[in-house]
Structure 1
Amino acid sequence: MRTTRLTSRSKVLATAAGAALAASVLVGSGTTAGADQRDDALEKALAAAADDAPPALQTPFEKSGGATWTTHPQSVQFYRQLDQSSERVAVSNVGRTTQGRPLQLVSIGSPAPKAQTEAADGSVAMFVCSVHGNEPSGREACMELARDLATSTDATVTRFLARTTVILINANPDGWVANTRGNADGVDVNRDYLELATPEGRAVTKVIRDWNPDILNDLHEYGPSEYYRTDLLHLWPRNRNVDDQIHGLSQEMSEDYAAAQARSEGYTAGIYGHYVKDGEPFLQVAGDEQVRILRNYAGLVNVVGMLSETATRPLNDEEAADVRVLNNRRVDTNYASALGSTQMVAENRETLARETAAAAERQTELGASQGGVVYFAGQDDMLPTSSSEVEPEPMCGYQITEATFQEVKQALRLHDLKATRNASGRVVSLAQPNRGLVPLIFDERHEFRIAEGTPLETC
């Protein structure tokens, strides 16, 4: 754990009993990874940067010892100061909310962040910082991670940033100010990555399209209960239309990097949506395949993605007695997950770049040959139960009217999907890198389709 916040909880977990607990936590693959299996050079370098951060570059949360959260205006000022103090940081606006607040994108690189086009052709790690406005720990973790990357003098960090651009986006400032899950219109933005009805959803998908990230970690919080009491819950894309290699790499990042990093710091880690008793999962209550959720959307556009969730309420007596202990654990857990994702990139940069590009080619080829299977339901550990939920003989594309095209053309553009004109309107072919999105947008068999389209046997 970073020594800037060595809480009493940290001291408890340093005991033999705490270490034994951390080492025995069940993860999805049934395996565990400890600190002895990880290269901790990046972790140590960022911890040193946090220790040495000048007062002007400490977040309001840090200055309060974890007693109060950083406000949105304070975060804008913090990133402005970070931009002015470090050549490694650039802050830009990628949209505005319905209440006019900027949707800020922070990019970090060494000796300076690469321009978007150059970065997109290389290695990019993306973090979405608390799309739900009442889940503050991800925002705090992003601010501290940005600061630590920007100010570290360690060669491990500068080498990492020379080869990988890190981008972070605060995805719901209106909800942040109102302390609400949804945006100013009451919409859960994490259910809007297909329709793109919100400016926040449009901004995030535009960043994904334009920056072409290799990995994405979506930082959240959850409400614990009797059998759902883990420091970090994590999950990868579960939609069955995700490319197999992208799915496998996403699960690896989620289990073997993000969760492993949290465990190495003494935290517990488990799979999101699994109720656990005596160390064994006994009920799966969440973790579905919805394309509208960012981790699934990421996989369908060939990004290695995951979800991180940390518990909002106390998990032990110390956290119940001192809100600072509780809040610091929340932030440190999301920071650990983010750090694990950066380590995934550091160790697998070439593999990630190769496989994300290859996945786009595979999806295009599958669409052109009408191969594979199209799923409208089910998830990676659950086959569809009805023939209406799966198409074993995929269509080549969807016919839509010109009027329908005009309604969805902005969404198609943001999803990086093309439509070609014909006598009946437009055809949206499956022979595209983001093939998996097309049936989910237009087919009547998909619960969350956004427009009416007719499947075509031949194009």
Structure 2
Amino acid sequence: MPIRVRGPRPAKSPRARAGRGAPSGRLRIRNLTLTAVATALAVLVVTVPSEATHTPPRTGFESAAGARWTGADEERSLLAAVDRYSDRVTVDRIGTTRQGRPLRLVRIGGGRPEALTVLLVCSQHGDEPAGREVCLETIRDLGYATDPATRGLLSRTEILVLPTANPDGLAAGTRGNADGLDINRDHLALRTAEARALAAVIRDRAPDVIEDLHEYGATPPFYDKDLYALWPRSLNADDRVHDASERLVERYVRPAARDAGFSSGRYGVWTDPVTGGALKQTGGDGQERILRNTAALKHAIGLLVEDRADALPEAEQTDPAQGQRRRVRSQRVALEALFAYADEERDRIRAATARSRAAGSADRGPVYLGGADNEAPEPGEVLADPPCGYRLSADRYADVRDELALHGVRSRPDGDGVYVPLGQPARKLIPLLLDRRATYHLTNGQPDTAC
């Protein structure tokens, strides 16, 4: 039977502008019927045709009832088995880490030009494994699902999964990669092999929705919810993409978590345990080098999900497997809500991402070098009248040519160097890469103001 989720659905509100908090108000209730995809995800034993001669593979985590995480060899075997069995699953190697481990991208479904594309980025931080487990189970469940509804949905939805975004960190049990770099702080500079591979996927596949799966350490009693979620807070995000992302968080993911018995909050916001009011913000800002925000600059609806890694109840401390199963279950609920959103609001999503891409060439509005949707930028952080483009000398261009290409930024020859015009879909990304005033810029471009 389909899973049914009851959750609050407020009337659409305008975007919270800089210096203002996100809108609040009493939420109205309506029923959501999750899609056949969510139904397939909700079961660990998948029905296969009677003529099948083998059983769907299980993850190491499932086989151990949550007592340990799935190993690298077990992941490789599972992906190979699903790839062999299912004609709608393809596994490709898209990169190699410094220590020689493969970066694999799994493609499920699609096949139509108008297909909606959803990208799941799992465990960018190597010491946050719960999201990876859900991603592996999802690949298996969707690959082996046989019901017509799921097959129909996957024919019009392409699901891309990067099941282990940081293989070296996973092997070492570290947040960073083999170079000690935080991949989720590298989506502008692209210094890491892992971020470069992901940037190429986003450039080439143009996903409409990107979910970034993480875990966090709790600080009771102010910051200890089972599941936190957040949308892109960058002021450079197109309003349509921003609003659709916030809608995903507030009308789908958080209500689904609460209905499943998990506590939920907005990532980065400490709350009073008695009143529930916000006390302070310790994370979740608007810096574009984080995938949640970079996704919006590349015209995708962005979602960050963080489950609580700490074993707070006594039962979880006594039996760690209970806590690990809870972590995976909460991530699964969030992912089911994402698929329900993608199915129910397909037209809204496609309109938001398409209009965001088209806006770059004609946009003449400001570009922000700081601030967030709930934090006003400083005066020096606003390019109120952005330049027409940036000129780069041949030497400077040689230093950043590959990164610009990975970001999908177009340029043209200009004398001894190149010219990067702002009139392109990457308009609001370009100053962050080339303007000397931007915090994480790649090089100092020469602004061209003679439009």
Q: Which of 190, 193, 196 matches 1:196?
A: 190
Task: Write the distance in 2 (CA, Å) between the matches of 1:244 and 1:36.
Answer: 26
Match of 2:344 in 1: 347
Match of 1:66 in 2: 66
Runs (4+) of structure 1 exceeding 4 A deviation are 31-36, 53-56
How far does residue 270 in structure 1 lie from its aligned partner after superposition? 0.7
Q: Which of 138, 157, 178 matches 1:145?
A: 138
Task: Write the distance in 2 (CA, Å) between the matches of 1:224 and 1:79.
Answer: 33
Match of 2:16 in 1: none
How far does residue 352 in structure 1 lie from its aligned partner after superposition? 1.5
Q: Which of 385, 405, 414 matches 1:413?
A: 405
Following superposition of structure 1 onto structure 2, how do residues 193-342 of structure 1 map, counting pairs within 5 Å? 193-226=187-220, 227-277=222-272, 278=274, 279-342=276-339
Q: Identity over aligned residues, as a percent?
A: 36
What SS is found at the alignment partner of 2:376?
Answer: coil
What SS is found at the alignment partner of 1:51?
Answer: coil
Question: Residue 50 of structure 1 contacts residue 148 of structure 1 at CA under 8 Å; is this kept in 2?
Answer: yes
**CA, structure 1 residues 253+429, in 2 after alignment: closer, same or farther (shift >3 Å)?**
same
Match of 1:372 in 2: 365
How far does residue 219 in structure 1 lie from its aligned partner after superposition? 0.2
Task: Write the distance in 2 (CA, Å) between the matches of 1:103 and 1:296.
Answer: 22
How well do the aligned residues superpose, as a CA RMSD in angstroms? 2.4
Task: Write the distance in 2 (CA, Å) between the matches of 1:255 and 1:246.
Answer: 14
Question: Residue 215 of structure 1 contacts residue 303 of structure 1 at CA under 8 Å; is this kept in 2?
Answer: yes
Question: Residue 89 of structure 1 contacts residue 106 of structure 1 at CA under 8 Å; is this kept in 2?
Answer: yes
Task: Write the distance in 2 (CA, Å) between the matches of 1:160 and 1:84.
Answer: 21
Question: Residue 2 of structure 1 contacts residue 47 of structure 1 at CA under 8 Å; is this kept in 2?
Answer: no
Opposite residue 124 of structure 1, the aligned amino acid is T
Task: Write the distance in 1 (CA, Å) between the matches of 2:312 and 2:448.
Answer: 53
TM-score with structure 2 setting the length: 0.90
1:440 counterpart = 2:426: no
Task: Write the distance in 2 (CA, Å) between the matches of 1:403 and 1:322.
Answer: 58
Task: Write the distance in 1 (CA, Å) between the matches of 2:328 and 2:42.
Answer: 17
Task: Write the distance in 1 (CA, Å) between the matches of 2:410 and 2:80.
Answer: 37
Question: Residue 370 of structure 2 contacts residue 382 of structure 2 at CA under 8 Å; is this kept in 1?
Answer: yes
Task: Write the distance in 2 (CA, Å) between the matches of 1:300 and 1:106.
Answer: 24
Task: Write the distance in 2 (CA, Å) between the matches of 1:51 and 1:35.
Answer: 32
Q: Which of 129, 133, 145 matches 2:126?
A: 133
Question: Residue 262 of structure 2 contacts residue 330 of structure 2 at CA under 8 Å; is this kept in 1?
Answer: yes
Task: Write the distance in 1 (CA, Å) between the matches of 2:250 and 2:450.
Answer: 41
Following superposition of structure 1 onto structure 2, how do residues 88-107 of structure 1 map, counting pairs within 5 Å? 88-107=88-107
**Structure with the larger helix share:** 1
Question: Residue 33 of structure 1 contacts residue 260 of structure 1 at CA under 8 Å; is this kept in 2?
Answer: no
Task: Write the distance in 1 (CA, Å) between the matches of 2:178 and 2:76.
Answer: 19
Question: Residue 122 of structure 1 contacts residue 353 of structure 1 at CA under 8 Å; is this kept in 2?
Answer: no
Question: Residue 2 of structure 2 contacts residue 39 of structure 2 at CA under 8 Å; is this kept in 1?
Answer: no
What SS is found at the alignment partner of 2:225?
Answer: coil
Which whole-Å deviations, capped at 9, do the CAs of 1:423-453 have from their partners, x for residues lacking one?
A: 2521111111011111100112111111111
How far does residue 64 in structure 1 lie from its aligned partner after superposition? 0.6
Task: Write the distance in 2 (CA, Å) between the matches of 1:31 and 1:143.
Answer: 37
**CA, structure 1 residues 46+334, in 2 after alignment: closer, same or farther (shift >3 Å)?**
same
Show structure 1 runs of 5+ residues with no match: 4-18
Opposite residue 448 of structure 2, the aligned amino acid is L
What SS is found at the alignment partner of 2:106?
Answer: strand
Number of residues of Structure 1 aligned to a counterpart in Structure 2: 428
Which whole-Å deviations, capped at 9, do the CAs of 1:181-203 have from their partners, x for residues lacking one?
A: 11111111111111111110001
Task: Write the distance in 1 (CA, Å) between the matches of 2:84 and 2:307.
Answer: 32
Opposite residue 76 of structure 1, the aligned amino acid is R
Match of 1:388 in 2: 380
How far does residue 316 in structure 1 lie from its aligned partner after superposition? 2.0
Match of 2:159 in 1: 166
How far does residue 66 in structure 1 lie from its aligned partner after superposition? 0.4
Which whole-Å deviations, capped at 9, do the CAs of 1:17-40 have from their partners, x for residues lacking one?
A: xx99x99xxx96546879952113
Opposite residue 431 of structure 2, the aligned amino acid is P
Question: Residue 253 of structure 2 contacts residue 337 of structure 2 at CA under 8 Å; is this kept in 1?
Answer: yes
TM-score with structure 1 setting the length: 0.88
How far does residue 393 in structure 1 lie from its aligned partner after superposition? 1.2
Question: Residue 411 of structure 2 contacts residue 418 of structure 2 at CA under 8 Å; is this kept in 1?
Answer: yes
How far does residue 260 in structure 1 lie from its aligned partner after superposition? 2.3
How far does residue 48 in structure 1 lie from its aligned partner after superposition? 6.0
**CA, structure 1 residues 296+305, in 2 after alignment: closer, same or farther (shift >3 Å)?**
same
Question: Residue 2 of structure 1 contacts residue 50 of structure 1 at CA under 8 Å; is this kept in 2?
Answer: no
What SS is found at the alignment partner of 1:57?
Answer: coil
Opposite residue 235 of structure 1, the aligned amino acid is L
How far does residue 88 in structure 1 lie from its aligned partner after superposition? 2.0
